[in-house]
Structure formats: structure tokens, C-alpha cells
Structure 1
Amino acid sequence: MIDAKEYLKKMSAELDGPIKSYIGNEEPENLMEASRQYPYRGGKRMRPAMAVACCGAVGGDRSKAVPLAVAVEYIHNFTLVHDDLMDGDESRRGMATIHVNYGMPTAVLAGDALFAKAFQIICDLDIPAERMRDALRYVSKAVWDLARGQQMDVNNEGQIVTEEVYLETIKLKTSVLFAAAAAGGALVGGADRKTAEAINEYAIEVGLGFQIFDDYLGIMGNPAKTGKSNCNDIRKGKCTVMVTHTIEALKDDAAKLAEFKSILGKMDATEEECARAKQIMKDAGSIDYAMDMARAKVNRAIETIAFLPESEDKEFMISLANYSIDREL
């Protein structure tokens, strides 16, 4: 079985040149520099890798999916620029954020420029017009859904929502762009609509599993590996599957529920209080519940692409699904 992490590094290196080739030396220079900052810096590049792999998995010419891969990466980075503005974050990927380096107006324009460049690239794909329209539908709907998911996340901040609302939020925030990359790559590779939709569903499930596991790491991960305190999400009151399950499990234990809620969202919670909140979640079976759900999402994703012929690209898609719930352990 392919090592997804190593394969991602290899594909990221291969995509580095194309990703850095589409923003020319135009005026104004500061806008060009700001637009380049995030995509040129690197990252896991899981979305562009997904586009290329899904093209190959349906028997297509992987090189034809590279422009789509670049476009999806630009869209992803456009969302990061605007996320950093909304959140007031001052650093990303070990450097100052774009609005810190270039100011808020230029950061907004850099995000807009990346978004526009992405669709310009897609319109030049070397595929039949009908397939291009289908690819554009997936990508444009993903951006629309991503905006909806971001606003839902803002609306949910500080609130305890239902599991259904939380899952819909992370689907829109995290999964849809993965899925657009996957389905778009399949379309570039010559897949019919039924195959592209199956691959889209595969990526939706991978994205859900990825985010549920990311939430798990936020609570149970090793800070030396994750790079953040596993008290952060408790102090921020982040509503996750683990939290919604705990609250439901404790509905008949008013005292313990009140204790849990008194710690959740307490910005100055001590390490001991955080440990107590984690223990309550464990005792409620919520940690295991979340991990079981993440595994179920990944298993469903792998089942969805079982019909694809055996290939290195399919093997990578399976490995990537498993990697999404087996990081930093």
C-alpha cells in the first residue's frame, strides 16, 4: 500500500512548478506579491493531489488535470486569505498573514485575484466544452457551499448545535472543495457523470472523516505533534461531535452536565479543568463515538470507489482516506 504522506510530498513537489507559474509580473507589483504569498509557500496540497489522482484513477492523462489542480489550490488559498482577515490571525505557515504584510484592502483584493485566476485557468482546460461546464458546476457550487459553511460556522460560534448541524457545517467548510477537486479531476480524465458523482461522494466522506479526526486531535492529540495545546478547543467551547454526543449522553445527569458546560468555553480554564472535561467526554463514550464515526466515513469513502479499476492512483485514494484519520498518532 502506498504511503499517503510520502506520496503527497512527491505530488506536492511535482505541482510546485505549475502552482508558481500562473501569476505573472503584472502591475501593481504589491498585489502580485500578495497573491503569490500563500500558494507559493507550499502546504500539504491535498486538494490538487486529489484532482490529479482522480484523473488518473479513471484512466485519464494526469497532466491534463494539473491546471485544474492549480485552480483548486488557488481557490483554497483565496479562502485562507479571507479566513485570516475574519479571524484576525497574524501568522500562517510560519509567516505573517497577508493582511498584516500588505494591509486589509490589498489582502481582500489578493483573495479576489486568486479566485478570478482560478476560474480563468479552468476555462482554458483542454477538455470538451460539456466536461468543462460540468467541472465548473462542481467548483462553483463548492465555493458557494463553502461560503455557506463559513457563515454557519460564524453563526454557531459559542453555541451548542445539534450533531446534524455540526456535520452539515463541516461538510460545507471542509469537504466540498475536496470533492470538487476529485470530481473535476475525474471529469478531466474522461469519466462519465455517474462516475464523477461517485468520486465526489468519496471525497465528501474523506473530508468529513478528516475534520472529525482533526477535532479528535484537538482534544486527544499529542501537543508535541499537533503543535497546539489540547486545551484550546475546550477553552474556546468548540462544538464538535464529541461535545454534542457528551451533552446528549448526559441529559439525565444534570450535575455532571452542568459541570461539563461550566468548563466548556471557559477561556481561563486550568489544565486540571480541561482534563476533567476530557474525562467526562471519555466516560460518556464520546471520544470513541467520534473515532467510530470518522472510521465509518472513511470506510464508506473506500467502498464508494471500489468499482474503479486497480491502479496506483486508486491505491493513493484509498491510502489518503486512511491517512485522513491516522495523522499525528
Structure 2
Amino acid sequence: MTTRDPISSYQAFVRDAWGTYTQQILDADPIMKPMLAHHFLSTGKLLRPALTLAFYDCLQGQTALDPDNTSASLTQTAIAIELLHNATLVHDDLQDGDETRRGIPTVWKAFNPYQAINTGSALYFYAQKLLLSIDQPAEVVVRLSQLLSEQTIAIIQGQAAEYTLWDQFPERFEDARAYYIDVVERKTSALFAIPLMSAAIMQQETQETIEGLHGVAAPLGALFQIQDDILDLYGEKGRGSAGNDIAEGKPSLLVLHFLHHADKEDAKRLKALLTQPREECAQEDIDWAIDAIRDAGSLAYCLEALQTLHQKAHAQCTQLHFKQENHLNSLLDQLVEKILQPIQHLLG
């Protein structure tokens, strides 16, 4: 661990716990084991469970991980959050038609769509099962379980709303941007709200504070999603090739800005590309779109939006009047730096 990147120590701690708990799931479920074991072959960054632990310590005034003082209940809560995250990934891969994730075939591709649905559903309920088993007062356990369910519904709503944009495409960019932010604050910000709010619940913070943390998570989730959209076009996302989001017809902020600001003929060409079947999208057309989006200034616009969202997260944090506000602001900076690392080459 270094003082520059303390989140890494939490990620390393969670990685060990993740291996333990996922093995317990595999040992207890011979029916789902083939699909779950395949999905568990590749572990992600574990950013969300690490954030759960780090924010909990932050509320206590700690600025670094102390494994000896990290309770089993807190660790289980963090793992439950990551199980939920993985549930959304399995279903997301199926809906988007992605054939690889983190360099390995996705569950639906390795098995079939039906087993991907089963696997994602199983992961959600394993998350709830683990959460309900923690050694905490009943009121705390119920609140954590309710939070997980409520935010899962928000994720589903965001995912569903994303698929309706082309049916009611806004004429004004401001309206399109507002629609995009509403979608990502549901489907992406929820997975930042759960870690922050769960830690606060376990610290028995006031309900006003717990709810206020959703306001901190909202810009963090939007920032993460915009970064992820940029990475798909201008970085390495482990999905086989650049521009998968364009082939999927995904209405990213990059795309929405381009469609409202580019030359009419270019905008028409991109919209046609976005709305045609994925299997009909030629890589040369996707490559054209990647270059055109950059040349039209849409990439620069989104990079600037990242800075604005970072500042907004800080502003929301200040409104909560935490005793440990300095620690929390430092944690937010470390988290944003971690999120933006994959596109650092674009930030200068």
C-alpha cells in the first residue's frame, strides 16, 4: 500500500475475500457451478466492494486499511455488493450481445442465453442471501437488504430506459443529455450509491445523511459511465475490438453530442449505423465513427464533462457536513483518479 493509492490495499483485501466466498458458492451449488465458475474465471477491479470498506473506515476517521479491524459483517456486505454487480454484468452482456468480457467468452456465449439469465439471477439472490446472514442488528440487515433491492430496481429501470431513446429521440441536445444522465444515474450510479449508503447504514448514520449520499453517488456514476463510453472507443476494454457500443446502438453522451452538433450528413450516417442490426455493422464504418466523433469535438466535450462531475461530487459531499469531510474529499479524489486511469492517455 502507498499513501498515494490506498484504495489498492482495499482492492487487494477484497480480492482474497472474493475468492473465499465465491468458492463457497461453487461448493454449495453443483447445478449452477459450471456457469458460475466460468464467470468467476475473470475477476474485475473490485472497485465497489473496496469503496464500501474505504468509506466505512473514512466515516471512522481512518485513512488506511487495517485488516485486523475489518469485521466479517462489513466484508460480507462488500462481497454481496460485488455479487450484485456481477449479476448485472452477466445480464448486460446478454442484452448487448457482447461475446467477450475481460478477455474470456461471456456466459451467454460460452453456454446459452437461458443459462446467462439463470446465472445473473442466481448471483442477485446469492447477494441477498449473503447480506441477510451478516451478524448485525435486524434493523440494519433489513435496511441493507431493502437498499440492495431498491437500487437493483433502479439499475433495471435505467437499462430499460436506455433502449427507448431511439423511439423518442429528443430534438434538443439539452434534453438528450438530461435523458442520458437520468439513465446512467439509475443503471450506473446505483452501484456507487449502494457502497456509500451501506457503509453509512452500518455506521448508523442519520437517514438524512444516508439519503444524501445518493447525491454524491449520482455524479460518480455518471463520471464512471462517460469514462466507460470513452474507453470503448478510444482505449482497451477487453471486448475484442474498439467501438462495440456503436455496433450495439448505444446512446452514449459521445454519440448524443455528435448527433446534435456534427454536420447533418455525418449525423445521418452515424444514426443509420447505430440503428442497424449489430451483425451488419462493418468495422470500417465503426472506425469512421470513432474518428468523426473525435473530430467533431464530442470527445473533448465529454472529457470536460468528467471534470464537472468530479466537482459536483465534491459539492454534494460538502452539503452533508461530515465531521470527516477532508478524509471523504480525499477518498473521492482517489476514487476518481482510479476510475479515470484507463483513459489517462486522453487527459494529458
TM-score range, shorter chain: 0.7 to 0.9
- Corresponding residue to 2:337 among 313, 322, 326: 322
Q: 1:211 to 1:104 in 2, by over 3 A?
A: closer
Which range moves more in the overlay, 272-281 or 111-120? 272-281
Q: 1:312 to 1:227 in 2, by over 3 A?
A: farther
* Equivalent residue number for residue 58 of structure 2: 57
Q: Tell me which amino acid in the other structure corresponds to 1:199.
A: L
1:19-168 → structure 2 map (5 Å cutoff): 19-23=21-25, 25-26=27-28, 29-39=30-40, 41-59=42-60, 62-63=70-71, 64-156=73-165, 160-161=169-170, 162-168=176-182
* Equivalent residue number for residue 303 of structure 1: 315
Instruction: Give the Cα separation in 1 of the matches to 2:341 and 2:245.
Output: 20
Q: 1:190 to 1:242 in 2, by over 3 A?
A: same
Is contact 1:47-1:181 (8 Å) kept? yes
- Corresponding residue to 2:255 among 243, 257, 268: 243
* Equivalent residue number for residue 194 of structure 1: 208
- How many Å apart are 1:218 and its aligned residue? 3.5
1:290 aligns with 2:290: no
Could you list the per-position Cα deviations for residues 157-176 of structure 1 after superposition, in whole angstroms to 9, with x for gaps in the alignment? Answer: 68745111111111212111
1:183-222 → structure 2 map (5 Å cutoff): 183-219=197-233, 221-222=234-235
Is contact 2:100-2:240 (8 Å) kept? no
* Equivalent residue number for residue 273 of structure 1: 288
Alignment root-mean-square deviation, CA: 3.1
Instruction: Give the Cα separation in 1 of the matches to 2:198 and 2:141.
Output: 9
Instruction: Give the Cα separation in 1 of the matches to 2:287 and 2:107.
Output: 37
Q: Tell me which amino acid in the other structure corresponds to 1:303.
A: A
- Corresponding residue to 2:183 among 169, 175, 179: 169
- How many Å apart are 1:297 and its aligned residue? 1.3
- How many Å apart are 1:247 and its aligned residue? 3.8
Instruction: Give the Cα separation in 2 of the matches to 1:78 and 1:116.
Output: 9
**SS, match of residue 325 in structure 1:** helix
Q: Tell me which amino acid in the other structure corresponds to 2:209.
A: T
**SS, match of residue 34 in structure 2:** helix
Is contact 2:100-2:239 (8 Å) kept? no
Q: 1:308 to 1:328 in 2, by over 3 A?
A: farther
- Corresponding residue to 1:258 among 265, 270, 277: 265
Is contact 1:47-1:72 (8 Å) kept? yes
Q: 1:101 to 1:226 in 2, by over 3 A?
A: closer
Q: Tell me which amino acid in the other structure corresponds to 1:322.
A: E
Q: 1:88 to 1:218 in 2, by over 3 A?
A: closer
Instruction: Give the Cα separation in 2 of the matches to 1:289 and 1:273.
Output: 19
**SS, match of residue 191 in structure 1:** coil
Is contact 2:260-2:267 (8 Å) kept? no
Instruction: Give the Cα separation in 2 of the matches to 1:53 and 1:67.
Output: 14
- How many Å apart are 1:30 and its aligned residue? 3.6
Instruction: Give the Cα separation in 2 of the matches to 1:109 and 1:226.
Output: 24
Scaled by the length of structure 1, what TM-score is found? Answer: 0.82
Could you list the per-position Cα deviations for residues 33-60 of structure 1 after superposition, in whole angstroms to 9, with x for gaps in the alignment? Answer: 3234334631111111122122222229
Could you list the per-position Cα deviations for residues 254-300 of structure 1 after superposition, in whole angstroms to 9, with x for gaps in the alignment? Answer: xx222332244433354773366235521xxx333322222111122
Instruction: Give the Cα separation in 1 of the matches to 2:216 and 2:5.
Output: 19
Q: Tell me which amino acid in the other structure corresponds to 2:153.
A: W
Is contact 1:234-1:265 (8 Å) kept? no
Scaled by the length of structure 2, what TM-score is found? Answer: 0.78
- How many Å apart are 1:248 and its aligned residue? 3.6
Q: 1:198 to 1:321 in 2, by over 3 A?
A: farther
Gaps of 5+ in 1: 251-255
